[in-house]
Structures are given as C-alpha cells and as structure tokens.
Amino acid sequence: MRARNYFVGAAFALLAVGIGHSAVAEDIKIGEINSYSLLPSFTEPYRKGWQLAVEEINAAGGINGKKLVVISKDDGGKPADAQTAANELVSSEGVAMLTGTFLSNIGLAVSDFANQKKVFFLAAEPLTDAITWSKGNKYTFRLRPSNYMQAAMLVEAASKLPAKRWATIAPNYEYGQSAVAVFKKLMSEKRPDIQWVDEQWPPQGKIDAGPVVQAVAQANPEAILNVTFGPDLVKLVREGNTRGLFRGREVVSFLTGEPEYLDPLKDETPEGWIVTGYPWYSIKTPEHDAFLKAYQGKYNDYPRLGSIVGYQTIKAAAAIIAKAGSTDTDKMIAAAEGISMPSPFGEITFRKIDHQSTLGAFVGKTAQKDGKGVMVDASYKKGADYLPSDAEVEKLRPKD
Amino acid sequence: MAFYVVQFLTGLASAASLFLVASGLSIIFGVTRIVNFAHGAFYMIGAYIAFTLTERFSGAFGFWGGVLAAALAVALIGVLVEMVLLRRIYHAPELFQLLGTFGLTLMVEDLVVLIWGPDDLVGRRAPGFKGAVDFFGQNIPSYDLFLIVLGPVVLGVLWLLFQRTRWGVLVRAATQDRDMVAALGVNQKWLFTSVFAVGVFLAALGGALQIPRDAVHHAMDLRIIVEVFVVVVIGGLGSIVGAFVAAVLVSELNAFGILIFPKISIILVFLVMAAVLIVRPWGLFGKPEAAARKTPGLTVNPWRPLTQNERLGSLAALLVAAMLPLFAGNYALTVGSEIAIFVIFAVSLHFLMSVGGLASFGHAAYFGLGAYGVAFLAKMAGLPMIVCLLLGPLLGCMGAAVFGFFAVQLSGVYFAMLTLAFAQIVWSIAFQWVSVTGGDNGILGVWPASWAASVSHFYWLALGIAALVTIALRIAVFSPFGYALRATRDSVLRSEAVGINAKRIQWTAFVISGTTAGIGGALFAYLKGSVFPDNLGISLSVDALVMVLLGGVETVSGGVIGAIVYKALNIWLVSQTDLSKLVLGGFIVLIVVVFPKGIVGMLELLAQRRRRSSPPGSSLLAKPIESAE
Amino acid sequence: MSVAPTLLAVEGLTKSYGGIHAVRGVSFSLRSGEILALIGPNGAGKSTCFDMLNGQNQPDSGRVRLLGEETTGKKPRDIWRMGVGRTFQITATFATMTVRENVQVALISHGKQLYNLWGSAPNVDRTEAGRLLELVGMGGYADRPCGELAYGDLKRLELAVALANDPKLLLMDEPTAGMAPRERVELMRLTAQIAKEKSIGVLFTEHDMDVVFEHADRIIVLNRGTLIAEGSPAEVRGNPQVQAIYLGEGLLYEGGHREGASA
C-alpha cells in the first residue's frame, strides 16, 4: 500500500513535464485546437491549409519581423478536452490567441473560455449562429459563413423553385436543428405558399437511411432540404438513389458541394442538387489560382474546403496581429474589428458589429463528371450580402 | 399498405447486419464471459479490408470473394488477439477483459486512419444487387432483399452448427456451465479460441457486407457497438435466436418509430432495453444466469484499514499534492484539478464496483447530473457557488435513487446494461431538450465565484474535496455498512440468510456512489465553466470503468491510482501526439497483460511477496497467468 | 424433555412443480433442545422441505409456525430475525472476507448496525465473533481469508455464523457433507452439545446414517414427498417401510457419500 504514495508522486512528476515548456519571447505563438482524431477527413486538409499559411507568412518575413509558430492541439471532439487544450495553450504555452475548432459546441465552449480568461479567439469552422449572436462575446471572432448565411444563400436559389411541398432531413443535434429552423424561417418569409410536409431527424452518424428515405418518399414532397453530411450523407444518397427518392424532386443541401463530402460519392453523386460548397476546379480568380498552385505544389493533393478554412484562419490571425502591432488582447480586438484582408475567395472583412467575417461560399449544382462528383454552375456568394440588417444583429447580440 | 410492407422489409434488411455482429458478440460472451468491447473494431476492420479487396478485384467473384476473404482475415486477427492477449486474462477479475478489448479498440481507431487515410471511403455496390425491385409503386433495393434472406440463412447455419456438430454441443454446454466442460476434460483453450474466431468472423462479415450501403470510416465501431450490446441484452446473452429476434425488434422499432416520433430514434432502443430488462431481466430468450461459482482464493489479500504508517504516508502524499501551487504553473494546476475531480468520479464507481460488486456502465449519468444540477442552479436560479456545490450533486443523488432502485434488482452484465440504458436515456434528454439544457451546445458561463476563481484556490478546493470523499468512502468500506455491502457482493444467499436485505443495501450503495459522482460533476462544471451532454455520455462512463479496472478492482484504493494514472496520461498524450488513442490503447493493453490485477493489485501482490519471501510465495505471481493457459 | 414447548410446527406442507408433487402434506413438530433428523432417499423432497422452512421457497399450501408465530410467506431474512439460523448444503460464505469478518457480518446484522456508515466494523463485536469461532473450534483461523478454508472448516464457519443471532432453531442442510468421517462426528457432537446447552432446536438432513442414528433424538422419513415414518432412531430403524426403501437401495447402514445429489 505504501507504494501508492510513490505513484502519486510519479503522477505529479508526469504533470511537471507539462510545466517545462516556456515561451520563447521572439516568436509569436498562436494556439490552434481542432477535432483531429474525431474528424480527420476535414481536419487533415485543414491542417495542411494552416501549415501552408504558416510557411508563407514566415517566408515573407513573419509578422512584423517575428516568426509565427502555431501550436496545435487535438480536442478529440469533446468540449471539455478542448478547454483543457485551450488552457494549456494559454497558461502553459503562452499563446497570443486561440484559433480553430470545428464542432459548434466546442466552438462555443472555447468562446466561453476566451470570454472568461480574456483571450482572443478566432473560431474557424463552427457554424452555429450563437457564437456571434446570442452567445457572442467581445473576444470571439468567426471566419466561416454561419448557418444563417449559408441558409440565406440556399434560400435565394430554393425560393425560385416551383416546389411547394417540402420535407427536411437533418441530423438530430443543434447544427441540424438550427439549419432547418433558419432555412424554414427565411424560406417561409419569401414563399408563404410553402408547406412543410415531413421532417426526419436521424441521429448524427447513425442514420438508418432506408426507413428515413421511405418515410420521406411517403410524404411525397416536391423538394427536400438535406442537412446531413459525412457518412450519413453517403448512406442517404445511396438509399435515396436506389429507392428513387430524388427522381423528379428538387434537393437543396447544406455543405454537400464541399469536396470532403462530395468526393466520396463518386459515381453515385446525385445530379442537380442545389448545394453550398467549394468547386476548387472551376474557380478562376488570381487569388485562388495562387492558393491552388501553392497548395498543390506543397502537398501534391487538391485542396478541400478545410484547406481554405485552415489557410485563411491563420492568414487572418496574422493579419490581425500585424495590424495591432502587438499581441495585447484588447489591441488585437480593436485591430480585428472591421479589418479587411485578401483571401483565396477575394477580400473579406471581419465586421465590427458581430465579429463575423464576410467570407462567402459557393452555391451551385451537383453533377457527375468522369465518375466523380462535381459542382457546376457555381457562383460565389459574398458573405456580406447574406447577413441580416445591423438593427437585427444588434437585437440578437448581447451587449459586451 | 405497400408502404408499410416496404418499411417493414427495410427494417428487416437493417436487422441482418445487426444480427450478424450481435450473434458474434453473444457467442463470445456466452462461452468466454468476455464483454468484448473490441467487437465493433473487428466489424470496422472487416469493412476496411473488404473495401480494399473489393476495390482491387473487380467482378462478382472479386466482390463476394473479397467480402468473405475480409471476414476470414479478420477472424485470423481475432485468433491472434485471443491467443496473445485474452488467454492471459481469462482468470483476471471480471470485466478486466473489457479493459483489454477497450485498449484494442482505441488502437484500431487510430490504426485504420494511419493505414487507410482520413477520408470516408465509399465502396462498390454488390454485383447483381445494384438496383431496386418495384413493389406496388415502392422501391426495395435488391441488396436489401439479399440481406433479408441472409439473416435467417446465417441463423440457420449457426443453428445447425450448434445443434449438429460436436463443437456446437461443446459451445452450448460451455455457455451453460463452463466449469463442467472444463471438468469433462475438453481442451478449453482451443474451444475459446475457435469461439472467438467465429464471433469475430461474424462481426467482420457484418462490417464487410455494409460496403454497398455505408461509407467506411474510422468511427464505424462506436456507431455499432452500443447498439449491438443493446441487441444482445434484449435478446438474452448467449442466445442466437434471441439476438435475431432482438435485432429485428430494434430495427423495426427504428423503421416505424421515425414515422411517429422522428426525433425519438436517438433514445428508443434504450427505452426498450430498459423496459425489457425491468420486466424480463435475462432478456427475451436468455436464461437466468446460474450463480457464478467464484473461484476460491480469488482475493489473496483480505482488505484491511491502513496502518498508522500508511496513513502518514498518504497524508504526506496529500501534503505534497497540496504544495503543487508553490511551484507549478496554471496549466499544471488546472490539470491537477481535473485529475482530482476524476479521482472523485473513479472512487465513486470503485465503491459500487469493488465493494458492491456492481459494475455500472452508465456512471457518467450521475456525474453529469451533478454538473447539470450546478448549471441549473447557477444559471437559472442564480445561486452562489457554495450553495450550488452543495445542492447540485442532489440531482445526481435523485437520479441514482430512481435508476438505482431498478438497477439493483439485476446483477452482473444485466445490471451493467441497465445502467447503460439509463445513462443513455438521461443523455438523450440532455441532448434533446434544447430549451432547458441547451442541447449539445450545453450551458455556458458556469464559472466559479471569486473566492475560488484563482487557479490555485480551485485546485485546493478540488483536492480537498477529493481527499475528503476518498477518506469518507474508505471509512464507509470499513464501516458495518461496508461489511454488509461486501457480504451481498460475495453471496446474496448467505446475506439474506443472516437477515440482510441485499437489494436495499445495494440500493443504498448505489445512491451513495451516484451522489459522490455528482459531487465530482458539480466541481467539473465549475472547472470547465460549462456543461455539455458529453458529461453524461458513454465515453465518460467507459473512462470511469477503465480508471477503476486500471487501478485494480479488487483493491480498496485502486480507483485513486487508476484515475491519476489514466487521466494524467490521457491529458498528456492528447497534448503531445495526434496518435494519442494508439499510444493510450497500447499502454492499456500492456497494463492488462503485465498487471492482470490492476496497478494497485499488482503492487499489493509484490508487497505481499516480499513480506512472505518464502518459496511458496514466489509462485504467486506466476499463478494467475499459468492457470489462464 | 417432554416439558419443552413446541418450537416449530409444520402442518400440511405441500409443494409441486409442474404437476409433480415434491412435498405433499408434510406435518411434524420440533421442540426446543431437540435434534430432529429429516432423512429420505434422493428426490424425497428434503431440500424442498427445508427451503420452505427457511423462506427460500414458498409452499403451495400448509403452514409453518415458529413458537406460534406464522413464518409462511416470510422472506429468509425475516425468518432469520425470528431466530432461525441456517447452514447450506453447498456452503455459502463471504469468500473474500476473513473468517472473523464472516461472523461479524452476521453479528452486525443481528445488532441492527447494517446502515451504520461511520463505525469501525473491524472492532464491532470482535470479542463475540472470537467467542463464536472458539465455540466451533475455528478460533485459530479468525484472520484467514474465507476463500482459503478447507471444506470442513467452511462448514464449521457456517455453524458459527448460524449461531450469531442466538437462534432458537437451527436448520442444517447436510451439515457434514464433504467432511471426513472423524470431522463429521466432531461437528455433530459439537452441534448437539450447543443445542442442549442453549436449548436450541435443530433440524437437519443427512445422508450419513451413522451421524443420524448417533445424534438425532428423533427422525422423520420422507419418501416421494410424503412423510412415511417418524420416531426415535430405534423405531425408525425397525420400520419395515423405511427398511424397504433404504434396503432396496442398500443404503441404510453403509450410506455415506451420496451428498450433492439430494432433491
């Protein structure tokens, strides 16, 4: 039993290893957290994206002459672990700001941590509207177009469809629920004649696709809104194709045009879905060409949307620190509010009013080309055009 | 009408692969009594290997041959795992094998990403089964029809195997009475290996057959394992027919449940499992388990209170821990707080598991309820921290009182599964009831009051409460109540024959344990400043089990050491490497093989050996491994 | 002896399983301080009968009274509280606890301390536990883990545990099964001595006829669920029906090791 005590000692010695790190004053450190082990299909390209950005920034002389170092941590998909990581990055590594996160709940957890500890947080991916609006705070900024913005982009196209009977399929958690809610709200505003005839809420990651497809078909909608993604989407598409669910029906779908989710579908990609996504093969702008060339040059692989998000997150962080001329949190916040910068999708701005960036998304239609899924007729939608009025945002967001 | 028929057929098709995987798990459990957590991992590897083979070899032969070859290949892996790992731990304490297979699962999750890459893989459609069959205007995928036929065929083959072959007779006999088969001079070693191989084959086949329907990805295992456990338990452990009926039942419930309550599928199977276990504790087709014959001399060391020296030693360790803020930074202190909280959580489960012999698979429910209790009180009622800390755990206490009442009516694996079902129900409520709990976005902003806000103050608070809880539970172990609880664990028959109301004693222990877990959860809410449904989730429950098993389930204080080692290692690995699951899993497997009694159990054994240091003592170490051969 | 009050009164005890009468209309009584043996061939219904006395099993009809108080329908733990100690055919002890702790658990239960979370159990009734262990000759084994004990010692331990609540009645199901012949005699002598001293009624089943005829004051014989004979050892020995059953099986005098197979 006495050996027990040695073990307590040993365990604390183990902890002490974590204390050993000390910040090197000359470098600028950014802490980065994401669900690397849980969502590798998104986070691997994402990691490549930000690594490319770091390389480019340092090759160009760093930030205000200082070298940029990104310290990256895995949250395993758990909010509690994300906070542990955030804490390590801030307390132990002494990073200037936190970036990253994919899942909405993790984004919110880190955002709340940032608010409590007064740390700058640049959320990369989480889509929840709450992070900039109902639970927004002074310290948190967000890069990607939110649920609301993507819904608004899709509604613009969807409202032009003749379909009046709509059904929805969405994963049963906050992201799916709020995506459906916003879409319904915006859609019903534009088209009061629409009927919602069925809704399916399969558990995230556990869709029982056959029965879901059957149930939706039974309601006989003219159009379907899909919010599922990843393996759930694959199952849904396969069952839907085989059972003829999509035949003669319009489908509007969140995120499906992103290579992460579209590519696995290969020759089973359904035709003509209206989707948001990232058609990297058909974007012909100088900014994107430069990014694409650099990315393919470095990795010998094509970029996914995650690559853009990772790349631009670190680019944005660097731009903010460069403008602030300091890693002081308040100065960075002041610098970030209203900052404009280039991105592979063109110039973006972080709005002062809600800390949302105006990064947009591509809306287009799915198609098959050489047995692969692609997005066609894609056009870029600027984020700024799909946000509610300032007065509305004021109402949504608590005062700092 | 045609719609309902097709919906029913669709349910049957889903049932087929669920049945394959579940029957494998059921056979393995029936014979070896191993709760094979890695069963989902074998299912996943089956899908991955089948993907590679079917991509490589085209045509009908390539596809079906690939599916079969994949299942066989995984069965071989299973044989290897059984011979190298499981054989060494058959005689370890109950559920220790769970720890080993859990370690394997962790490793596999990282390994498949390393081997096959991070992308979701979508395999070929089955040749000849690509289209759909028209049924009065409704389409049924022909592959579904294939699966619908396959399910009963596999059931029939298994039935023949068990009824008509000598091997099958032995398996059935072993399922009913292991000791008897051993006494009859059957080579148990190979019986176990072959049973494990067959079970794994079925799991891998189930996975391989998913290729035309599903995407192959690295989280497939977790998506199926829990549901498979549910099926096996509803059907009755060890019963193949039961597994079939339960698989159909669960799949049909899903198929029709979504028509009435689209949002309920998340919780439905667990409601059904809880209902079945309460009404028919041995599942639909199971038989009441014969009272396990405990191996005499299972525990070499009788428990005893700490000696004076050991008390002083523990106090010294506590003092050292309390001095951490003098030299450690904020991060180390926060990690220290987290570890202290997990010590509370682990000792609470340890009390129930080691002292009460009741292994809860859903202990996170009470931890999480404590956390939510605090969050509700702090955010909605706006109560001060000290009040929240005192009252928050009461939610865990109430949950434990209600669920524990039903759970203690059962024992063994059935108890475990009922607690799991309850935990999942609580989790679903937290996840689903967005207006109150915030759903998966959780409740934010539960930060400590100013007196505890500084990192070192919070650390002292957590450490102090952890110490108090550990001491209090230790006192309880050596209290008259503790004796009574151990008595009910060792022999319910004898306990009742000396006037002990075993169920009530166990219920009391459950409530004590749940309340203690709630205390941990309450602190956790303040540490993280937020609560999420994760805090009640399966993976946290598994963490607790792992901590207890790692420390040593037969010891008095294994939970403390298990929590410190596991949590510290976990946090450190996650921070250091992206392959934390691989390393942690490997570490757990190693521990399982080297320390089959857990860390503390092994230390005790060593200490005892040194004390005796006589010739017979030296064989003690080798004994458990030898006898497992 | 005849002045002692009736301790246990069994009337018309009946139990059947799926149409087969395991026990049919069995009635007998037992006085304090009396040692009564319940014998019969395998499958005679001895264990079923026993389980019904103890509350382990409930009769279809009939009643059991202990000192005039009804015990039918009560649970084993409640019957124990009425003063009935029991040992099992296959010993049931707390295998991971020490010998002393086994007795202490029973003493704790007897002292209604089961829900005491604060006291120090190792010190509860320590001397009393020691005294009981001495009584059954297990004093030297007090700190041994129960799982390490030889079978005969487990039987003695069970006796000590059964005595912990100062029972009025002891029910012993094949108390000497699995023991060496010398141990059997010792254990039964001990039991008889304790029973006489404390005026405890003892009802036991037994296969070993030597033990039965040497220690029983009275014997009742079950066959196929019915009581076929009752009386002193000499009377029973001379009963032609009993002889028919046992001699038919050739068991009456050379009986012995048939334990573990009784009904």
Query: For the domain that residue A208 is a member of, what is the CATH number?
Result: 3.40.50.2300
Residue A3 lies in a domain: no
Give residues 413 to 432 of B whose Cβ lies within 8 Å of A.
431-432
Give me the pLDDT at residue C254, please: 42
* Full residue range of the structural domain in which residue A266 is found: 148-283+362-386
**Confidence class of residue C249 from pLDDT cuts 50, 70 and 90?**
low
Report, in this order, helix, strand and coil percent for chain B, each rounded to 5.
75, 5, 20
Residues A223 and A133 grouped into a single domain: no
Tell me which of B116-125, B339-348, C250-259 is least confident.
C250-259
Question: Per residue in A197-233, pLDDT tens?
Answer: 999 999 888 888 999 999 999 999 999 999 999 999 9
| Res. A7: pLDDT tops 80 | no
Q: How do residues C98-128 score in pLDDT, each as one tens digit? A: 999 999 999 999 999 999 998 899 998 999 9
- Of C75, C121, C161, which has the smallest distance from its Cβ to B480's Cβ? C121
- Cα–Cα distance between A277 and B505 in angstroms, integer? 59
> What b-and-e string marks burial along B209-248, b requiring 16 or more CB atoms within 10 Å of the CB?
bbbbbbbbbbbbbbbbbbbbbbbbbbbbbbbbbbbbbbbb
Amino acid letter, residue C207: H
Q: Which residues of A touch B313 (CB under 8 A)?
A: 2, 4-5
- Indicate whether A257 and A295 sit together in one domain: no
**A291, part of any domain:** yes
Residue of B138, B330, B529 lying closest to A113 (CB–CB): B529
Question: Which chain B residue has its CA at the smallest distance from A243's CA?
Answer: B139
A392 falls within a domain? no
Instruction: Tell whether A270 and A298 lie within a shared domain.
Output: no
Helix ranges, chain C (H): 46-54, 76-81, 99-110, 126-135, 151-162, 181-198, 209-215, 233-238, 240-249
Considering only the beta carbons, identify the residue of C81, C92, C109 that sits closest to B484. Answer: C109
- Phi/psi zone of residue B137: left (φ > 0), alpha (ψ -120 to 50 degrees), beta? left
A135 and A193 together in one domain: no
The answer to whether residue B329 neighbours chain C at the CB level (below 8 Å) is no
CB contact under 8 A, B499 and C165: yes
Question: What's the mean pLDDT in B437-451?
Answer: 89
Q: B residues 237-266 near A, CB within 8 Å? A: 251, 254-256, 258-259, 262-263, 265-266
pTM of the model: 0.88
Per-residue pLDDT reduced to its tens digit, A103-126: 989 999 999 999 999 999 999 999
pLDDT at A16: 44
pLDDT at C248: 59
CB contact under 8 A, B499 and C75: no
Mean pLDDT check: name the lowest of A181-190, B83-92, B415-424, B494-503: B83-92
> For residue B294, what pLDDT is reported?
45
Structure tokens at B628: 């497992």
- pLDDT above 70 coverage of chain B, percent: 94
A236 lies in the same domain as A367? yes
* A225 lies in the same domain as A369: yes
User: How big is the B-C interface in CB pairs under 8 Å?
Assistant: 127
Give the integer Cα–Cα distance in Å for B115 and B306: 49
Q: Do A174 and B131 touch (CB under 8 A)?
A: no
Distances (CA, A) of A290 to A208, A296, B103: 43, 10, 45
How far apart CA B325 and CA B470 sit, in angstroms, is: 21
> Looking at chain B, which subunits does it touch, using at least 3 CB pairs closer than 8 Å as the criterion?
A, C
Beta bridge partners, A225, equal A168, A252
Cα separation, B341 vs B324, whole angstroms: 16
For C179-229, what is each residue's pLDDT tens digit? Answer: 888 888 888 888 999 999 999 999 999 888 888 888 899 999 998 889 988
- Tens digits of residue pLDDT in B333-352: 999 999 999 999 999 999 99
Which residue of chain B is at minimal alpha-carbon distance from C86? B497
Q: Which residues of A touch B440 (CB under 8 A)?
A: 104-105, 173-174
CB nearest to B480's CB, from C96, C124, C143? C124
Q: Do B262 and A201 touch (CB under 8 A)?
A: yes
> Given a cut of 80, is residue B422 above it in pLDDT?
yes
Same domain, A94 and A111: yes
Classify residue A277: in a domain, yes or no.
yes
Mean pLDDT of C233-244: 86
Binned at pLDDT 50, 70 and 90, residue B600 comes out as confident
What pLDDT digit, counting tens, does each position of B176-227 carry?
777 777 777 777 888 889 999 999 999 999 999 999 988 899 988 988 888 8
| pLDDT at residue B540 is higher than 80 | yes
- Alpha-carbon dihedral sign for residues B119, B120, B122, B123: positive
pLDDT of residue C257 exceeding 80: no
Q: How many domains would you assign to chain A?
A: 2
Statement: residue A50 has pLDDT above 50: yes
Q: Classify residue A154: in a domain, yes or no.
A: yes
Whether pLDDT at B477 is above 80: yes
Q: Determine the distance in angstroms separating the CA of B501 from the nearest CA of chain C, rounded to an integer.
A: 7
C167: closest chain B residue by CA? B498
Q: Is the pLDDT of residue B85 over 80?
A: yes
**Residue B39, pLDDT above cutoff 90:** yes
Query: Do B490 and C97 lie within an 8 Å CB cutoff?
Result: yes
B132, B254, B534: residue with CB nearest A242: B132
Task: Verify whether the Cβ–Cβ distance A203 to B320 is below 8 Å.
Answer: no
- Note whether A173 contacts B262, CB cutoff 8 Å: no
> Do residue A210 and residue B141 have CB atoms under 8 angstroms apart?
yes
* Main-chain phi, psi angles of A250, to 5 degrees: -80, 145
Q: Quick check: do B and C touch, 3+ CB pairs under 8 A? A: yes
Flag if A239 and B445 touch (Cβ within 8 Å). Answer: no
B486 touching C (Cβ < 8 Å): yes
pLDDT of residue A340: 97
Interface with A, mutate which of B4, B147, B223, B331 (most A CBs under 10 A): B331
C169: closest CA of chain B, how far (Å)? 13
Query: B335, A15: Cβ pair inside 8 Å?
Result: yes
State the alpha helices, DSSP H only, in B85-187: 96-116, 142-164, 166-176, 178-183
Which residues are within 8 A (CB) of B127 and not within 5 positions of it... i.e. 6 or more apart?
B59, B60, B63, B64
Residue at A1 is within a domain: no
> pLDDT tens digit string along A304-340?
999 999 999 999 999 999 999 999 999 999 999 999 9
Q: Which residues are registered as beta bridge partners of A375?
A: A366
**Which has more pLDDT, B32 or B11?**
B11
Instruction: Give domain status of residue A310, yes or no.
Output: yes
Residue of B nearest to C171 (CA): B497
Name the DSSP letter for residue A356: B
ipTM: 0.89
Question: pLDDT band at A129, cuts 50/70/90?
Answer: very high
Phi, psi of B584 (to 5 degrees): -65, -45
Residue B406's pLDDT is 94
Residues A128 and A245 in one domain: no
Q: Do C145 and B505 touch (CB under 8 A)?
A: no
Under an 8 A CB cutoff, do C114 and B300 touch?
Answer: no
Residue B498, chain C, CB below 8 Å: the answer is yes
- C 116-145: CB under 8 A from B: 116-122, 124, 143, 145
Residue of chain C nearest B483, judged by CA positions: C105
Q: Do A237 and A381 have their domain in common? A: yes
Amino acid at B493: L
Give yes or no: residues A351 and A210 share one domain. Answer: no
Lowest mean pLDDT among A238-252, B150-164, B398-412, B589-603: B589-603
Q: Do chains B and A touch (3 or more CB pairs under 8 A)?
A: yes
In angstroms, the Cα distances linking A173 to A130, A180, B430 are 14, 11, 11
**Summary mean pLDDT of chain B:** 87
Instruction: Name which of B131, B220, B568 is nearest A11 (Cβ-Cβ).
Output: B568
> How far is C252 from chain B, CA to nearest CA, in Å?
31
- Give pLDDT, residue C18: 78
Do A238 and B440 make contact, defined as CB atoms within 8 angstroms?
no
- CB under 8 Å to B605, separation ≥6 — which residues? B300, B301, B597, B620, B621
Residue B357 has pLDDT above 70, yes or no: yes
> Is B494's CB within 8 Å of C77's CB?
no
Q: Which residue has the tokens 């599903």?
A: B214
Residue C92 touches partner B, C-beta closer than 8 Å: yes
User: Closest Cα of chain B to A94: distance in Å?
Assistant: 10
Indicate if the pLDDT at residue B621 is higher than 80.
no
- Residue-wise pLDDT for B488-528, tens only, equals 998 888 999 999 999 999 999 999 999 999 999 999 999 99
Cβ separation of B480 and C76 shorter than 8 Å?
Answer: no
| Whether pLDDT at A174 is above 90 | no
pLDDT of residue A15: 45
Please tell me if residue B508 touches chain C, with a CB cutoff of 8 Å: yes
Give the residue from B483, B134, B426 showing the smallest Cα distance to B274. B426
CB < 8 Å to B484, chain C = 105, 108-109, 114
Does residue A273 share a domain with residue A321? no
The answer on A49 and A75 residing in a single domain is: yes
| Average pLDDT over chain A, rounded to an integer | 91
Q: Is residue A375 part of a domain?
A: yes
At A25 the pLDDT is: 53
- Residues 543-562 on B with a CB inside 8 Å of C are 554
> What percent of chain B lies above the pLDDT cut of 90?
50
Separation in Å, CA of A356 to nearest CA in chain B: 19
Share of chain C above pLDDT 90, in %: 37
C contact chains, 3+ CB pairs < 8 A? B
If pLDDT is split at 50, 70 and 90, which confidence band does B98 have? confident
Mutate: best of B294, B494, B556, B612, partner C, most C CBs <10 A: B494
Report yes or no on chains A and C touching (3+ CB pairs under 8 A). Answer: no
Q: What is the mean pLDDT of residues A349-356?
A: 96
User: Given a cut of 60, is residue A10 above it in pLDDT?
Assistant: no
Query: C88, B494: Cβ pair inside 8 Å?
Result: yes
